[in-house]
Structure 1
Amino acid sequence: MSAEQDGTPAARLARRARQVVPGGVNSGQRSIPGLTDLVVTGTAGARFRTADGREFTDFHAAFGPPLLGHNDPDVARATEEAGRSLGHMGVGITEGEVHLAEQLAELIPSVEKLLLTSTGSEATFHALRVARAATGRRLIVKFQGCYHGWHDAVSLNVISAPEKVGGHDPISTGILPEVLAATLVLPFNDSEAVRSAFAEHGQDIAAVIVEPVPHNVGALLPHQEFLRTLREETTKAGSVLVFDEVITGFRHDLGGWQRISGVTPDLTTLGKAIANGAPVAALGGRADLMDLFSTTPGAPAFFAGTYNGHPSVVAAALATLRKLREEPVHEHVFRLGDRVRRELTALYDRLGVPAVVTGYGSVFVTYFMPGFTPDAPPRTYRDLLANDASLFVGYRRHLTEHGLFELPLNLKRSHISYAHTDADIDRLLEGTEAAVGAALAEGGVRDLSHTSTMGGALA
């Protein structure tokens, strides 16, 4: 039997991928240890199918974009109709782009003007560029545990090993040391650290960028006083406050976390749930800042992108927003999210497993560590260093045996969509009890927080 014929169809296709695609996947977040032959052949609603004939109820949801569920028929129909009537010109503007910008300006408190990009990383890149253009300053402030994309200024200190916390911890090689040196990394939810940083460096800080909820390490919920401190210190220093709402925007509220918190940033980045999985993101905010981009003739901050405002993704975004505004999407996913967090908490109490189930709305995550409760969840990245990474990853691997998929990488959040049902939650609860039992039986409770298991996918 030839190498091409050896193994299952999924294994053969995965092997072909590794021959022509570095690592066999097109994003570093997609290669899952122990699931290297994962070949997806179909998605629908709350489920996906694989080349080996298996079907999974999906609680990973591509790091969160399909808030309505995979292949939502209304979004698919709008995209198809746009494709039949309008191709991408790359000059001028379309009515859909105008309509989308108007809706986002209406919904998001900080947005007076808005530009479209293809990815959240592009949006955060341009936010920092225009902040430096506006202020003439050098330094950027980010927070441990927050992820803002792949570009050099922010590609550091996300899921860090304990000995790396407090210093620069780049997530990639190839970044110039002087670029890293221009980024200050502070602990999330630490108002005093923010005040100290501004006391020492305030006149050289161009921008503070923050995930209002650092969902790339699960769900660290912010202290209201911390967000207010960011607003106060940036205002006093003349720095630009950027809320990275690529995850929190639309999934948590149509107005983003800024509407929930009442703290309004200067710039906001959006993505993921904006178009239910279509590749579109956005940067919006104060008009005086946005008008510095070269989309305004003669303005100094260059901004471009061949696929920005592509008619098909704009149509997907408009259809998504229409459904979010007209149907009880948030009511449904928040109810199921509350149920998951409540009943998982009871499950772990019954099993005697030290765990805290936290999250917000449709997002949930279980940390395996004592000393915290849903009413007093972990609030800093240092808190999360106590998470039992082996049990976290181990039970999620066992979940796949029950047709359930939560990403088996440390600290990763899970998501509920409009397509999930109470029956799906029933299956999740049953499967979780069995999976945790299996992980415990094989000695899954080992503290691996000092190993590379602290690493994980970022999106």
Structure 2
Amino acid sequence: MAVTPDTDLAARAAAVIPGGVNSGQRRVPGLEDLVVTATSGATFTDAEGRTYTDYHAAFGPPLLGHNDPDVDAAVAATARSVGLMGVGVTPVEIELAERLCELVPSVERVLLTETGSEATFHAIRVARAATGRRYVIKFQGCYHGWHDAVAMNVISLPENVGRHDPLSKGVLPEVTEATIVCRFNDADDVERALTDHDVAAIILEPIPHNIGAVLPAEGFLERLRELATKHGTVLIFDEVITGFRHALGGYQSIAGVTPDLTTLGKAMGNGWPISALGGSAELMDMFSTTPGRPAFFAGTFNGHPPTAAAALATIEKLQREPVHEHVFRLGERTRAGLAALYARLGVTAVVSGYGSVFLTYFLDGPVRSYDDLLANDVDLFVGYRRELMKERIFELPLNLKRSHFSYAHTDADVDRLLEATEVAVTRFLETRP
């Protein structure tokens, strides 16, 4: 049988996949022909045979590195012994649920899903079921998935800040209007919204990593906890990014603030598609997984045994090896090195991040909310990252997108990153119109 040669994979993709990619932000202007043919550890290789050190890391899942052998072996072993039944439960689901309840402070009960969007969707649904209320508060700059209640006000144009800014057409106006958008790190703004509306839930990334790394101001998360309790509102931490990447107990275990519900994903399965929603027994027991309860919950692939095994193996490796120590050290070294680099070059910059996450905003600080990021030099942010690709280093060339270290990265990678960043920034500035 003849095999079609892979001479133009990007063109083949464009012919059968709308836009040539299966997720909106995978089609990056200027990189329309990018086809990834292999991943390994801290690198990926494209269809032209070029290998890059990868700091994009699929928006963050492979904390251990691409194709981690321990995780992949657990997936393969489970797939050989138990597949998808669609009835009952499997031992690996039980063990994973037990581990999540042990590790994450807010989690007394947990349900498994496939994607972070599903987890946040169900969190909002059960909050409305529990409170009987209509409104939800989210924050400008936070992203919680593709569903209508929260698909708005992430990286907004200046003229759209302060009003509803949906990410998509096709959303019913009454759904959009039921979401209140507040300013991150502004507890007074939240208090006004809670006073003026019957709010079912407050949902937030405890660190808004979808706009890089805007750290919560001292006392902000604690104040949200107090306000939610006072007003009978469900507090939801979307830890799809921060969970496991920053700590086994999520960022809530670092901050010392316990939400009512927590969503988890991405680094939880080291790249395998699994997410989770957990929280208080009172709320979680409202789902229809308990017969007769009012909040419907279903999903053919929920708790899929091989992907549950991936999460369990990831957690076990995070517990037995110094993963967080390693990636935090590389992150801190990089942030310090970048700050020194930009000071030496005389480039106005704020180097931000937390743990394994890093990026540079090209603006005067401080950065407390999305409003401050409107001053970012987008051309420089995107332009130097395009130059980095010539040095075989990949940081996603889209405005405000964060970069990540994995357990597979090394100190030599940091050395090379700092050297290449100086080359890339200098070259961009020299050729800038």
Aligned counterparts of 2:9 and 2:337: Cα–Cα separation in 1: 39
Matches within 5 A, 1:409-428: 409-428=398-417
Normalised TM-score (structure 1):
0.93
Aligned counterparts of 1:176 and 1:224: Cα–Cα separation in 2: 37
CA shift at 1:443, angstroms? 1.3
Aligned counterparts of 2:322 and 2:100: Cα–Cα separation in 1: 19
CA shift at 1:226, angstroms? 1.3
Note the aligned Cα RMSD (angstroms). Answer: 1.0
| 1:354 alignment partner in structure 2 | 348
CA shift at 1:200, angstroms? 1.5
Aligned counterparts of 1:183 and 1:78: Cα–Cα separation in 2: 41
| 1:299 alignment partner in structure 2 | 293
One of 162, 167, 177 as aligned partner of 2:163 = 167
Aligned counterparts of 1:271 and 1:110: Cα–Cα separation in 2: 15
One of 358, 362, 365 as aligned partner of 1:364 = 358
* 3-state SS, counterpart of residue 169 of structure 2: coil
Matches within 5 A, 1:214-253: 214-253=208-247
Matches within 5 A, 1:276-287: 276-287=270-281
| 2:427 alignment partner in structure 1 | 438
Aligned counterparts of 2:234 and 2:289: Cα–Cα separation in 1: 20
Normalised TM-score (structure 2):
0.98
Aligned counterparts of 2:392 and 2:398: Cα–Cα separation in 1: 17
One of 63, 66, 86 as aligned partner of 1:67 = 63
| 1:206 alignment partner in structure 2 | 200
| 2:93 alignment partner in structure 1 | 97
Output the amino acid matched with 2:95: H
Map Cα deviations across residues 388-430 of structure 1 (whole Å, 9 max, x no partner).
0000000000100000000000000000000000111111111
Map Cα deviations across residues 131-151 of structure 1 (whole Å, 9 max, x no partner).
000000000000000000000
Alignment pair present for 1:196 and 2:192: yes
Alignment pair present for 1:120 and 2:109: no
Count of residue pairs the alignment pairs up: 430
CA shift at 1:25, angstroms? 0.2
CA shift at 1:365, angstroms? 0.7
CA shift at 1:439, angstroms? 1.1
| 1:341 alignment partner in structure 2 | 335
CA shift at 1:172, angstroms? 0.6
Aligned counterparts of 2:145 and 2:313: Cα–Cα separation in 1: 26
Aligned counterparts of 1:108 and 1:366: Cα–Cα separation in 2: 30
Contact 1:224/1:261 (<8 A) preserved: no
| 2:31 alignment partner in structure 1 | 35
Aligned counterparts of 2:207 and 2:189: Cα–Cα separation in 1: 18
| 1:456 alignment partner in structure 2 | none
| 2:151 alignment partner in structure 1 | 155
Output the amino acid matched with 1:117: T
Aligned counterparts of 2:157 and 2:271: Cα–Cα separation in 1: 31
Unaligned stretches of 5+ residues in structure 2: none
| 1:111 alignment partner in structure 2 | 107
One of 381, 396, 406 as aligned partner of 2:385 = 396
Contact 1:395/1:432 (<8 A) preserved: yes
| 1:378 alignment partner in structure 2 | 367
One of 47, 51, 74 as aligned partner of 1:51 = 47
CA shift at 1:230, angstroms? 1.0
Moved beyond 6 Å, runs of 4+: none
* 3-state SS, counterpart of residue 150 of structure 1: coil
| 1:185 alignment partner in structure 2 | 181
Contact 1:146/1:211 (<8 A) preserved: yes
Alignment pair present for 1:268 and 2:257: no
Map Cα deviations across residues 34-79 of structure 1 (whole Å, 9 max, x no partner).
1111111110100001110100000000000000000000001111
Contact 1:194/1:229 (<8 A) preserved: no
One of 80, 89, 100 as aligned partner of 1:84 = 80
CA shift at 1:224, angstroms? 3.1
| 2:397 alignment partner in structure 1 | 408
CA shift at 1:379, angstroms? 1.2
Contact 1:191/1:225 (<8 A) preserved: no
Output the amino acid matched with 1:118: E
* 3-state SS, counterpart of residue 431 of structure 1: helix
Output the amino acid matched with 2:98: E
* 3-state SS, counterpart of residue 323 of structure 1: helix
Alignment pair present for 1:322 and 2:316: yes
Aligned counterparts of 1:390 and 1:359: Cα–Cα separation in 2: 20
* 3-state SS, counterpart of residue 109 of structure 1: coil
Aligned counterparts of 2:280 and 2:218: Cα–Cα separation in 1: 22
Aligned counterparts of 1:40 and 1:419: Cα–Cα separation in 2: 19
Aligned counterparts of 2:79 and 2:107: Cα–Cα separation in 1: 28
* 3-state SS, counterpart of residue 111 of structure 1: coil
Aligned counterparts of 1:261 and 1:331: Cα–Cα separation in 2: 18
Output the amino acid matched with 1:170: P
* 3-state SS, counterpart of residue 219 of structure 2: helix
CA shift at 1:300, angstroms? 0.7
Aligned counterparts of 2:250 and 2:80: Cα–Cα separation in 1: 32
Aligned counterparts of 1:225 and 1:194: Cα–Cα separation in 2: 14
CA shift at 1:87, angstroms? 0.8
CA shift at 1:228, angstroms? 1.2
Unaligned stretches of 5+ residues in structure 1: 445-459
Output the amino acid matched with 2:293: A
